[in-house]
């Protein structure tokens, strides 16, 4: 199976800076694996790829088959980690125009997302979109009271009951929630919804490998056995304490070295449009985990080569407080070979016989050289190919590095106290008692 490669040849750091942080990484490793660090009640994701409930896993696969048999559309209701991970994997591993494909080609339900913002326009348009479609809902919330998904579920549940009647609607609603507590658990028990468990010891941004991510991913026809095998192999490979043999810990070191040298912004860069949403998931993972106590790298993104025509100038010649982490896919199953044209009006005949992926790879190499020449450090994380196994391993790679990096930074990487501030003000303004 594919190995994740980490290249920091162009990190623009010195070897002693790397060596200096090794003891801190090793201490963070011990703390995380001993379960005696800050936020230790939320480290269930650490061994989840090998300790998950196998019976529930089979129920997830069965539910996905039933959803696809009875519905043209699955609406996934959730916010933050309750949708970002699933959308990342679905975008990466399905057709670029997945929802637009006819059912006979797609073979699985269209997947739409709701409850990740508070927009009456979006929800109205979604209701119009599904008017003549057969629909199922997967509502994801540990509490059931988070404002955005709770509003969406209230509206969409009512629409489903009006369309099918309450008895049939029950069969079409799948709830992923806490095992025992919370409003959604109580509602599911009262109505008889089929439920899947969000582990109490796994926070949202680490939950893609739990039923939170697995049910939507399986419904999209993606091999969740391979996805979990990738995460399981990552669990083993990235637990090696020898840092020189562990690319995950090397990434954690280099992020902290660059932060200590004054870098304030980390840009996650990709060169494949289907991988663009990985950055959205990664931004929440690192932003919520590290942005505390006045500390933390600001996580942002570039989707190249597109963004080289908008943000490339800023990276090349702007303030030197930024570094890039490039996620690179080495091999592609689909490609286009450029052909020779009789009239070379666009001047592209020098590319005749070459593939678009070859051109794209050289765009990546040329950009890396230019940015490094401009004193922008570049780290490169490479996966062999874009499939379920490699996505599972890659996402575990980033989660493990985040936990380790957060401890080195001196913060609790598993809480998010700052998120509550806007909620208090919003509830006050809305008159919530």
Active site residues: 288, 423
Task: Scan for tokens 């061994």, then name that residue.
Answer: 47
Chain centroid offset of residue 336 CA:
28
Residue whose C-alpha is closest to residue 213's, from 78, 117, 405, 310: 78
**Two tokens, residue 105:** 């080609």
Q: CA 135 to CA 219: how far, in whole Å? A: 13
Q: CA 6 to CA 237: how far, in whole Å? A: 13
Chain centroid offset of residue 56 CA:
22
Q: CA 302 to CA 318: how far, in whole Å? A: 15
Q: CA 281 to CA 270: how far, in whole Å? A: 13
Q: What are phi and psi of 133, to 5 degrees?
A: -110, 155
Strands of the sheet containing 173-177, edge to edge, are: 110-114, 73-77, 135-140, 173-177, 194-197
């Amino acid at each position: 199976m594919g190995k994740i490669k980490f290249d920091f040849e162009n990190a623009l750091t010195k070897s002693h800076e790397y060596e200096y942080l090794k003891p801190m990484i090793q201490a963070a490793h011990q703390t995380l694996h001993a379960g005696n660090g800050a936020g230790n009640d939320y480290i269930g994701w650490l061994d989840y790829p090998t300790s998950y409930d196998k019976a529930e896993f089979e129920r997830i696969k069965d539910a996905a088959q039933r959803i696809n048999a009875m519905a043209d559309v699955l609406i996934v209701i959730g916010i933050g980690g309750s949708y970002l991970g699933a959308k990342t994997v679905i975008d990466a591993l399905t057709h670029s125009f997945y929802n637009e494909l006819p059912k006979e080609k797609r073979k699985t339900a269209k997947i739409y997302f709701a409850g990740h913002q508070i927009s009456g326009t979006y929800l109205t348009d979604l209701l119009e979109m599904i008017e003549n479609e057969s629909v199922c809902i997967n509502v994801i919330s540990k509490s059931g009271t988070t404002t955005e998904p709770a509003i969406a579920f209230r509206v969409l549940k009512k629409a489903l009951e009006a369309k099918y009647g309450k008895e049939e609607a029950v069969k079409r609603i799948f709830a992923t929630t806490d095992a025992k507590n919370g409003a959604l658990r109580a509602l599911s028990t009262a109505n008889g919804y089929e439920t899947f468990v969000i582990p109490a010891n796994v926070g949202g941004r680490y939950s893609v490998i739990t039923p939170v991510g697995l049910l939507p991913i399986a419904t999209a026809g993606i091999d969740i056995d391979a996805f979990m095998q990738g995460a399981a192999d990552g669990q083993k490979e990235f637990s090696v304490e020898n840092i020189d043999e562990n690319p995950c810990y090397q990434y954690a070191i280099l992020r902290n070295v660059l932060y200590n040298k004054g870098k304030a912004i980390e840009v996650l860069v990709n060169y494949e449009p289907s991988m663009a949403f990985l950055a959205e998931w990664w931004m929440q993972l690192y932003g919520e985990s590290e942005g505390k106590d006045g500390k933390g790298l600001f996580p942002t993104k570039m989707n190249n080569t597109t963004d080289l025509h908008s943000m490339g100038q800023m990276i090349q010649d702007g303030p030197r407080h930024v570094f890039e982490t490039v996620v690179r896919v080495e091999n592609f199953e689909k490609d286009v070979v450029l052909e020779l044209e009789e009239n070379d009006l666009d001047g592209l005949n020098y590319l005749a016989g070459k593939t678009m992926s070859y051109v794209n790879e050289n765009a990546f190499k040329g950009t890396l050289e230019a940015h490094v020449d401009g004193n922008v450090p570049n780290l490169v994380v490479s996966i062999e190919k874009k499939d379920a196994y490699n996505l599972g391993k890659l996402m575990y790679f980033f989660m493990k590095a985040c936990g380790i990096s957060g401890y080195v930074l001196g913060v609790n990487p598993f809480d998010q106290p700052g998120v509550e501030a806007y909620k208090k003000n919003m509830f006050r303004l809305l008159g919530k008692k």
